[in-house]
């Protein structure tokens, strides 16, 4: 219709009409592009909100996991410290025979929780990191997950510590004593006598390679505690930043 009017106007040399029709076409195209841009921006903001809400939920899961990990790391540090204390004070072994044998079983294991990064990986795979408008928040999210990935690259050292601990520990406890802690649903197993603890203690003293490894084990446990505290603090700070970006307070309520 517009093209026919323009053709008629040109034929009639009505240049004002031609210009007017061209302007109508240009303005129409401009408005159409603006509407498309507004729609895309609105859709981007909706997706950004959904992404940030999901990351916030995953951070809450991470924080809970780090809290559990700190409890576990603290327990295992106490186990390692009890073994070391027993070297200088054998009465410790006789006073706490069950705790001593439990320590020999459990002290060598380190734990670092699995971080929930599903949403971040989804955003990366879709090439949509730029959808997070707040540049500082985008950088903070990226750095958080990069640090987690970098720390994960050193997991082989934790595995080395555990395997070395188990190898050097072999023969200190009987198979039944060792297994008692794994078959119990409570994780504590049966109680042990003073005589059993004394025998385990003497067996340990005859294995200097195990004793030499104890400070290394304790260092790994201290490192696990330190890193989990650091990651927990970072996760809490990042969660607060996301909550602020979403217009929520740290408890999840609107401002």
Which tens digit of pLDDT belongs to each residue from 15-62?
555 555 556 666 666 665 555 566 666 777 889 999 999 999 999 999
Domain with 231 in it: 58-245
Residue 167 forms part of a structural domain: yes
The whole-chain average pLDDT of the chain stands at 83
Q: Return the structure tokens found at 121.
A: 């990986």
Contacts of 156 (CB under 8 A, 6+ apart): none
Q: Return the structure tokens found at 186.
A: 């409570």
Residue 162 forms part of a structural domain: yes
Nearest-angstrom CA–CA distance, 129 and 114:
22
Residue 231 forms part of a structural domain: yes
Nearest-angstrom CA–CA distance, 138 and 142:
6
Collapsing DSSP states into helix, strand and coil, what is residue 111?
A: coil
Contact present, 69 and 112 (Cβ < 8 Å): yes
Q: Is the pLDDT of residue 172 over 50?
A: yes
Residue 42 forms part of a structural domain: no
Percent of the chain with pLDDT over 70: 78
Q: Report, in angstroms and rounded to the nearest whole number, the Rg of the chain calculated over CA atoms.
A: 32
Provide the H-helix boundaries in the chain. Answer: 2-11, 15-88, 91-95, 97-106, 118-125, 135-152, 155-169, 175-183, 194-205, 208-245
Residue 179 forms part of a structural domain: yes
Residue 41 forms part of a structural domain: no
The whole-number pLDDT of residue 143 equals 94
Residue 45 forms part of a structural domain: no
Please state the pTM of the whole predicted model: 0.77
Q: What's the total number of domains in the chain?
A: 1
Residue 148 forms part of a structural domain: yes
| Tens-digit pLDDT profile for residues 196-252 | 999 999 999 999 999 999 999 999 899 888 989 999 999 999 999 999 999 854 444
Percent of the chain with pLDDT over 90: 51
């Amino acid at each position: 219709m517009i093209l026919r009017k323009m053709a008629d106007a040109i034929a009639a040399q009505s240049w004002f009409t031609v210009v007017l029709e061209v302007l109508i076409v240009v303005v129409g195209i401009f408005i159409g592009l603006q509407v498309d841009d507004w729609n895309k921006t609105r859709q981007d903001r909706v997706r950004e909100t959904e992404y940030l809400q999901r990351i916030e939920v995953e951070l809450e899961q991470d924080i809970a996991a780090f809290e559990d990990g700190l409890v576990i790391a603290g327990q295992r540090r106490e186990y390692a410290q009890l073994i070391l204390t027993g070297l200088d004070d054998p009465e410790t072994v006789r006073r706490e025979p069950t705790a001593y044998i439990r320590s020999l079983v459990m002290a060598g294991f380190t734990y670092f929780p699995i971080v929930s990064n599903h949403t971040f990986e989804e955003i990366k795979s879709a090439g949509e990191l730029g959808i997070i408008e707040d540049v500082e928040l985008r950088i903070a999210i990226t750095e958080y997950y990069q640090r987690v990935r970098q720390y994960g690259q050193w997991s082989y050292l934790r595995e080395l510590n555990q395997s070395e601990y188990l190898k050097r520990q072999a023969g200190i406890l009987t198979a039944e004593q060792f297994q008692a802690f794994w078959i119990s649903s409570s994780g504590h197993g049966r109680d042990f006598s003073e005589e059993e603890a004394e025998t385990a203690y003497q067996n340990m003293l005859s294995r200097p390679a195990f004793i030499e490894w104890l400070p290394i084990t304790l260092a790994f446990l201290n490192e696990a505690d330190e890193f989990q505290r650091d990651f927990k603090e970072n996760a809490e700070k990042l969660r607060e930043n996301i909550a602020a970006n979403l217009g929520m307070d740290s408890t999840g309520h609107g401002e």
